[in-house]
């Protein structure tokens, strides 16, 4: 069963949030994915969102760029937590997406994530933060995940010490 | 009968677009006004927009600030021309409202007006530009309106000549 | 006969609004195209705009980048609806074009479209929104066009279901 | 017992998020408040955050302005969901606060809320969205809260009809 | 006879560039002032600009805010040097005015001044820089003007030394 | 003899303003070029600027990027007209260069040109605008130059008519 | 003897960095203050900066707004550490000052502080950070200063506990 | 022994500040490098920073991008001078990194450097500015370094004179 519902305004945004899917897979959390636009398929969007709770969905991730109304529109149809991911655009690297998702009016909250690939990644992790409140397994995996991030960084310092700084940089520049 | 429908996300935006109502009154064009939020009253918004054409509405003006999804949401429910007016905010004077209204995705057009009181004024005049395509009376009034703007500016030059520049400035500074 | 007049400040902007021409072709709406700068050929611009109504033009689309005065200058010579399309530039992805087109003074309205290729597309669709007010054929085609957009999105969901999400993403990334 | 922990970088931000407290009170949700800076009291911050889960806290709201590192620093010490509220500043109305809270690196999620008073309000409501996943009472109250927002807007339309548009605007302008 | 022509899009901008007039008066340089909009009175603007050279005008100062097309439109009708002064607006303090005046296309130069009251001041001084190329009297006055600025600053240091720093600040804060 | 002095903060900016040199060559106007930084070679900068008038220089063009203090520093050492050209950077396409050159304090004017290659081009043309005030030959060449720009645009319209719009676009896209 | 030299482009900036003087007084660190503009008094600026080291100055604080070239110009005349303080302006709250001070070219470093009153405060504290490297007394005072900041925040939490949150907020709002 | 400590939020930032290492090598100044994130390895960061003074470190350089909390977090654990280097990002070329590092609250200073490679370079030079206050050898090397920059620029002018301007540009364009 899916605990997370992911809705994207365009299928071209799928690769931009690939890490979102990978993290949910890694945590073995079921999720649904739908391509549905706030503007081009408003009925499909409403229907999918309105039924989400009954289908067992607990958190919704909405991904959009430009005017990026999708997360806000989703939030208008549900009381589940809605996480908004702004897609990078040519306008200052996504300032339009960011402001449209962030600046929601008082009363209808959306949780804005960073623009770009960090947004996809953090949307999944934030969903797990929420789900872990009532799921010890997820909580333990989160602890592990964070521990692994730490170890990864520590190992890089070992590697730099081993190879020498300038050699390490040279290899990165390749 | 109303030819123009005006929808605002919040009643607090009414004074900010007062010139919109005044111009439509001046042109003797009937209009409907509704307070309806994209997020807080999505069903009312949808219903009002979907029925607009059948009620005789030809142009819709949507006024919103911040995330400002209203004009885009309105446009998703109708094929009438939708004019969006961004309300000024604390964020760079309304950059959030501007980008959310302007940067609509390809396929669902919204006509963005300037932020602030010029936006209210121009939304009405642009609506008249559209209605005048099939209404000679409106067209003649538009010609007159523009002629009056010209005369107004010419008169100011006469006044400056009369009073002297520095005196004229002094009175403006009061 | 042409119902839409399209004016561009530079021929180098033609490819950027190609979708504008394609949509008007698709809707079988006649249009004129002229390259004419607000600053380098002001007389040609004035003449073309001033005569537009008499030539049967009903809507004008003006495309410009940078200082992007063209849409405003066009609007100063006509009472036809003027749609402005901001071309993307290096300055924050077109913030200069956007603000110059959007922030028109009260009295002379211009309908601003999104920057980039969505702008070209939506300028044509918005022109059709206006023309369809008095043309049932266009209105029906618009309904169809929007229906096709919906179907297109629904099909993508079928395709994702068929191929599997990760496979679908992999193909997009190619 | 407190289910929500609220941390502010400065006591001068308290009035700016007053609605946050009022909403939690309205929902009868217990909360803790602490003034603790990411930079001036890093140990107190760490200690308060690290112990939050054991004290029964389920969601943390972090409020900060300017460099606004607090929400990110809080998120580095906990796996509870962290909600960041950017305080408005003189820099473009809070662009510094917004970007510092929003643009978190992949791996450490923070849920960014709008700048200004909507941020305080939505941070509380988003916390309730999360808590309501496992609390039917909260969920029902959320439904009611949203219903009340709707009714409030509908009533405004009645009032406008009753008073007349221009009279209503006149009263708002007072 | 007037050597400088000053054109403003709106009489409400007159007080904002008062220093422009004062400096020209101080240098005893004759100037013409006209209120004329690029959009509302395009013919008057064209006529005034086109005849400027024959009336003896050598430099044109154009003042405008928002879309601020006036300086560019003026430059399209003349080969005299055109100085553009962006008026401050609510949008980031005049970013719209600045970009519309600055980002002129290659071929039609406009000399952009700072936004705000420094812009009015510097437009006059820059005009004198140009006129002084062929007028020794103006050049000597410019030397004197700059010398006076220096002396003014030096005197402030004397005054601070005399009063004491904290006393001096206290008086400024009044 | 050189009538125009061109100073660049870095030799890497030379190709970015190539059109500046080409236009001055086309107008047969003599010019000096120096690489000299406001910060790295302040003495050389001061010396070159201070002596410019005596060497017969009438207009100075200063090109710089980033903090871009060069045009302002140049203006502090001379009463000749100083034209500033902002070089494009990674920061919003040159917003740092633009603001550093544009926002000069009252008293020391600098004429700001557009960012990028249009800036190089317009700096030369604006210098000619100034020089032409006292040189009929330059004035006639300017008239011709502008006439050629017009003819160039008119020819493009002929070419589009000849080739057909879509064929013309296809060739541009190559 | 003065260990810190403070240079401001305008005496009107003195009140904006009052905390700078107060902190240096509190630490009993001698300082010189001079009003001297990069553009209006370039010779005085150069002379004051060039002689600073010989007068015993170890750190220079330069305060400026708008084009804000002063810190960079100061840095071009000395090898002492230069701290730049951007004064807030109308342009996005000081974005011009910030970028002009921050974006120095490689080779001539300036240490940029935050805009506004925090900038004045931190410029003094950063100067003390530097001086404390060789002065145990200053280092101890810095430890104390930071300890006091902590205590101040802890006390506020006591006060909130004592008064009650809503009462505390009410008093702040006065 | 290391006098400078360099901390980077991610090893991928190493190549971006390569010039920092090269300059310190050139000045024969010892330095430590550590990869440590403000958020992913907060304990390691705290430990490394807290012990820096005892290890003989005198200046800390902290490099980070996006939310870029690292320099501020470092400054909260030490009284050594902390230099922050903002890494360029897709968001307006690093506006997020810049504001997060620059806009520190009063009380905890961080010295912000320019974004991009100039930032790496200037962070090293600014560290030397500080160290040179008590090290005559470093001071002499700084004098030499600056002299070499001057000579480098003077030589470029010779080279341009030798090759001819257009030939020099042609070679740069290669």
A118 neighbors D100 (Cβ within 8 angstroms): no
Average pLDDT over residues F124-135: 98
- E-strand ranges in chain B read 4-8, 31-35, 59-65, 82-87, 111-112
| Chain D neighbors of B66, CB-CB under 8 A | 114, 118
**What is the domain count for chain G?**
2
G91 lies in the same domain as G171: no
Out of C37, C41, C90, whose CB is closest to F88?
Answer: C90
**What's the pLDDT at G168?**
97
Cβ separation A67–B72 shorter than 8 A: yes
A10 lies in the same domain as A64: yes
Cβ separation A133–D103 shorter than 8 A: no
B81 lies in the same domain as B21: yes
User: Does residue B147 register a pLDDT over 90?
Assistant: yes
Q: What percent of chain H has pLDDT over 90?
A: 98
G122 lies in the same domain as G162: no
F94 lies in the same domain as F164: no
**What's the pLDDT at G10?**
97
User: Does residue H109 register a pLDDT over 90?
Assistant: yes
| Chain A neighbors of C162, CB-CB under 8 A | none
The shortest C-alpha distance from D165 to chain B (Å) reads 8
E71 neighbors E101 (Cβ within 8 angstroms): yes
d(CA B81, CA B5): 11
User: Does residue C132 register a pLDDT over 90?
Assistant: yes
Q: What is the mean pLDDT of chain A?
A: 97
Helix (H, G, I), strand (E, B) or coil at C32: strand
A2 neighbors A57 (Cβ within 8 angstroms): yes
d(CA G120, CA H4): 26
d(CA C119, CA A67): 13
Q: Which residue of C has its CA nearest to E94?
A: C99
- Residues of chain G with confidence (pLDDT) below 50: none
Cβ separation F112–E123 shorter than 8 A: no
Q: What is the reported pTM?
A: 0.98
Q: Which domain holds residue G81?
A: 4-134
Please return the burial class of D162, using the count of CB atoms within 10 Å of its CB with bins 0-12, 13-18 and 19+.
exposed
D16 neighbors D118 (Cβ within 8 angstroms): no
Average pLDDT over residues B37-55: 98
**What's the pLDDT at D108?**
98
**What's the pLDDT at B174?**
87
Out of F118, F149, F160, whose CB is closest to C33?
Answer: F160
User: Does residue H24 register a pLDDT over 90?
Assistant: yes
Out of C39, C89, C104, whose CB is closest to E67?
Answer: C104
Q: Which residue of A has its CA nearest to B89?
A: A103
**What's the pLDDT at A1?**
84
Out of A116, A149, A173, whose CB is closest to H90?
Answer: A116
d(CA H113, CA H107): 19
Q: Which residues contact E132 (CB under 8 A, 6 or more apart)?
A: E138, E139, E142, F79
Cβ separation B72–A105 shorter than 8 A: no
H50 lies in the same domain as H90: yes
Q: Which residue of B has its CA nearest to D119?
A: B66
Cβ separation A166–H21 shorter than 8 A: yes
Q: What is the mean pLDDT of chain E?
A: 97
| Chain E neighbors of F114, CB-CB under 8 A | 102-106
F100 lies in the same domain as F25: yes
C65 lies in the same domain as C85: yes
The shortest C-alpha distance from E140 to chain C (Å) reads 37
**What's the pLDDT at E174?**
87
Q: Which residue of H has its CA nearest to F43?
A: H150
D93 neighbors B89 (Cβ within 8 angstroms): yes
Q: Tell me how long chain E is.
A: 174
| Chain H neighbors of D77, CB-CB under 8 A | 42
DSSP state letters, A86-123: EEP-SSTTTHHHHHHHH-PPTTS--EE--SSHHHHHHH
Closest CA to F103 of G67, E87, E85: G67
Beta bridge partners of D4: D31, D59
The shortest C-alpha distance from B4 to chain A (Å) reads 22
| Chain D neighbors of B8, CB-CB under 8 A | none
Q: What percent of chain F has pLDDT over 90?
A: 98
**What's the pLDDT at H44?**
97
User: Does residue A123 register a pLDDT over 90?
Assistant: yes
Residue A36 backbone class (left: φ over 0; alpha: ψ -120 to 50; beta: rest): beta
- E-strand ranges in E24-152 read 31-35, 59-65, 82-87, 111-112
Helix (H, G, I), strand (E, B) or coil at F112: strand
Please return the burial class of C15, using the count of CB atoms within 10 Å of its CB with bins 0-12, 13-18 and 19+.
middle
Which tokens hold the place of B13?
């935006």
d(CA A157, CA G84): 34
**Tens digit of pLDDT for each residue in E9-51?**
999 999 999 999 999 999 999 999 999 999 999 999 999 999 9
Beta bridge partners of F166: none
User: Does residue A116 register a pLDDT over 90?
Assistant: no
**Tokens 């820099």 -> residue:** D91
Helix (H, G, I), strand (E, B) or coil at H146: helix
G112 lies in the same domain as G174: no
User: Does residue H174 register a pLDDT over 90?
Assistant: no
d(CA B53, CA E91): 35
**What's the pLDDT at C1?**
84
DSSP for residue H6? E
d(CA D7, CA D20): 12
E129 lies in the same domain as E164: no
**Tens digit of pLDDT for each residue in H46-88?**
999 999 999 999 999 999 999 999 999 999 999 999 999 999 9
Cβ separation C104–B98 shorter than 8 A: no
Chain A contact partners (≥3 CB pairs within 8 A): B, C, D, H
A82 lies in the same domain as A128: yes
Q: How confident is the model at residue F58 (pLDDT cuts 50, 70, 90)?
A: very high
Sign of CA dihedral A34, A37, A38, A40: negative
Q: How confident is the model at residue F174 (pLDDT cuts 50, 70, 90)?
A: confident
CATH number at residue C44: 3.40.50.1970
Average pLDDT over residues H99-117: 97
Q: What is the mean pLDDT of chain C?
A: 97
d(CA C32, CA C2): 6
- E-strand ranges in chain E read 4-8, 31-35, 59-65, 82-87, 111-112
H72 lies in the same domain as H41: yes
- Give the distance from CA G37 to its chain's centroid: 17
Which tokens hold the place of C76?
């100063």
DSSP for residue B60? E
**What's the pLDDT at A128?**
98
The shortest C-alpha distance from E9 to chain C (Å) reads 10
- Give the distance from CA C107 to its chain's centroid: 22
Cβ separation G90–E115 shorter than 8 A: yes
């Amino acid at each position: 069963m899916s605990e997370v519902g992911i809705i994207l305004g365009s299928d071209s945004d799928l690769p931009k949030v690939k890490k979102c899917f990978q993290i949910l897979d890694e945590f073995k959390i079921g999720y649904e994915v739908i391509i549905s636009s706030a503007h081009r398929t408003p009925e499909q969007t409403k229907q999918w969102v309105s039924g989400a709770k009954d289908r067992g969905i607990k958190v919704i991730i909405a991904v959009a760029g430009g005017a990026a109304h999708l997360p806000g529109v989703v939030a208008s149809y549900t009381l589940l937590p809605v996480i908004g991911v702004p897609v990078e655009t040519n306008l200052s690297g996504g300032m339009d997406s960011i402001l449209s998702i962030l600046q929601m009016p008082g009363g209808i909250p959306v949780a804005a994530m960073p623009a770009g690939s960090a947004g996809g990644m953090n949307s999944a992790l934030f969903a797990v933060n929420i789900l872990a409140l009532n799921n010890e397994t997820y909580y333990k995996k989160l602890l592990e995940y964070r521990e692994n991030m730490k170890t990864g960084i520590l190992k890089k310092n070992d590697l730099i010490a081993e190879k020498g700084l300038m050699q390490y940089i040279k290899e990165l520049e390749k």
